[in-house]
Amino acid sequence: MLGNFSYCNATKLYFGQDSLNYLGEELKKYGKNVQLIYGGGSIKKNGIFDAVVDILKKNGKNIIEDGGVMPNPTVEKLYEGVKIARENNVDLLLAVGGGSCCDYAKAVSVSIHCDDDPWQKYFVRFEEPTCKIVPVGCVLTMVGTGSEMNGGSVITNHKEKLKVGHAFGEDAMPKFSILNPTFTYSLPERQMVSGIYDIFSHICEQYFSGNDDNTSDYIAEALMKSLIHSSLIAKRNPQNYEARSNIMWTATWALNTLIAKGKTTDWMVHMLGQAVGAYTDATHGMTLAAVSLPYYRHIMPYGLHKFVRFAKEVWGVNPDGKTDKAIADEGLLKLENWMNSLGLVLRISELGATEDMIEGIADATFILDGGYKVLSKDEVIQILKESM
């Protein structure tokens, strides 16, 4: 049965090769002081920085640069961003980059006017913002997280060995996001495929939960099929516009909360992956890829009907004359083959995890109860060992 829900998505999207032309129109809605948030410098090499600065200047904005947002943004960087915003009385946070920049912008936006410590309030106690929220806009350059159209923000605390996400409500979603698939052409292949797996995992983790009679699951299957198809084209030819734009659009739909409506969700691959990330600082999508197959093989018996459906509907497995287990196994084998063909990392040891970290990674794994099996800590350890 579809559960009760409300749905609102507050982000206005501009999609396509001309989408940056609309930035000026959006800027007119906000005050003069713009905190220009970016990462380690890729946007200075591919020309996006110059294009954005040009539009900001033409619209008479004061640009307050806030670069150096690292992949997996840290709590120290969050404090620094809040300080910059307060000192410059910023009116808009403009993130130009991937999920890390966009997540960071959202975390800063809910912290500028917050009297409390933002790490404690949002990422330890999971409270909602009670202060004024400074608006966020996004020019996306890396595809995967869906951060461009959701309220999610993931912050890493290396001292506490925790990587924690908070899903803020609609007031903290980007007010607008500019999605130009050609902006992603300069991504190294490793980042492109890592983002592709992040998208796939977002869809799977909402799919492998609940009963089967839900519109969201049919949408999820269509998104997975489109992603598998386009990913193989993009791997062969990264400049294929159609494939790159399909991947970008799929990423947005995968995590703008639509396909979670009216159903339970799993999210344990993300919990495991984030804990691995807290210990290794590895690329987000790769941490998910490295724990997925052991996790899914572990929970398959508890949700066999859905793994059979996944095999048939997503991977085209022919069920004739086969047991349910054989069909489900074949589906996971096809998933593994696809992951290998993309060149994803399938072992956490290749991401820097060592045997002596397993206990700590297990402790840093939040155990959620929306999936087919609520894991015990021993099971988490077993899955992590199988992921080595």
Q: Contact between 152 and ligand NZQ (CB under 6 A)?
A: yes
Q: In whole angstroms, give the CA distance from residue 86 to residue 311.
A: 52
Q: Contact between 26 and Zn ion (CB under 5 A)?
A: no
Tell me if 152 sits within 8 A of 146, measured CB to CB: yes
Q: Among 136, 149, 177, 175, which Cα is nearest to 14's?
A: 177
Q: Contact between 182 and ligand NZQ (CB under 6 A)?
A: no
* Residue 355, CA distances (Å) to 83, 279, 349, 358, 387 in order: 39, 12, 8, 6, 11
Tell me if 68 sits within 8 A of 37, measured CB to CB: no
Nearer to ligand NZQ, 97 or 294 (CB): 97
Q: Contact between 270 and ligand NZQ (CB under 6 A)?
A: yes
Tell me the two tokens of residue 143.
Answer: 């595809």
Query: What does 180 interact with, of Zn ion, ligand NZQ, none (CB < 5 to 8 A by kind)?
Result: none
Give the pairing type, strands 136-140 and 62-66. unpaired
Q: Contact between 71 and ligand NZQ (CB under 6 A)?
A: yes
Q: Residue 50, SS3?
A: helix
Q: In whole angstroms, give the CA distance from residue 281 to residue 329.
A: 31
Binding mask 155-174 for ligand NZQ (x = CB under 6 A): ----------x---------
Q: Contact between 91 and ligand NZQ (CB under 6 A)?
A: no
Query: What does 294 interact with, of Zn ion, ligand NZQ, none (CB < 5 to 8 A by kind)?
Result: none
Footprint of ligand NZQ on 209-268 (CB under 6 A): 255
Q: Contact between 187 and ligand NZQ (CB under 6 A)?
A: yes
Angle at 186 (CA atoms; ends 140, 257), nearest 5 degrees: 30
| CB-based contacts of 386, cutoff 8 Å, min separation 6 | 294, 297, 298
Q: In whole angstroms, give the CA distance from residue 125 to residue 117.
A: 11
Least separation in angstroms between CB 147 and Zn ion: 9
Q: Contact between 41 and ligand NZQ (CB under 6 A)?
A: yes
Q: Contact between 198 and Zn ion (CB under 5 A)?
A: yes
Least separation in angstroms between CB 44 and ligand NZQ: 8
Q: In whole angstroms, give the CA distance from residue 246 to residue 122.
A: 33
Least separation in angstroms between CB 232 and Zn ion: 21
> Of 103, 205, 266, 330, which one interacts with ligand NZQ (CB under 6 A)?
103
Q: Contact between 103 and Zn ion (CB under 5 A)?
A: no
**Which positions lie near ligand NZQ, rule CB under 6 A?**
39-43, 46, 71-72, 97-101, 103, 141-142, 144-147, 150, 152-154, 165, 183-184, 186-187, 191, 195, 198, 255, 270, 284
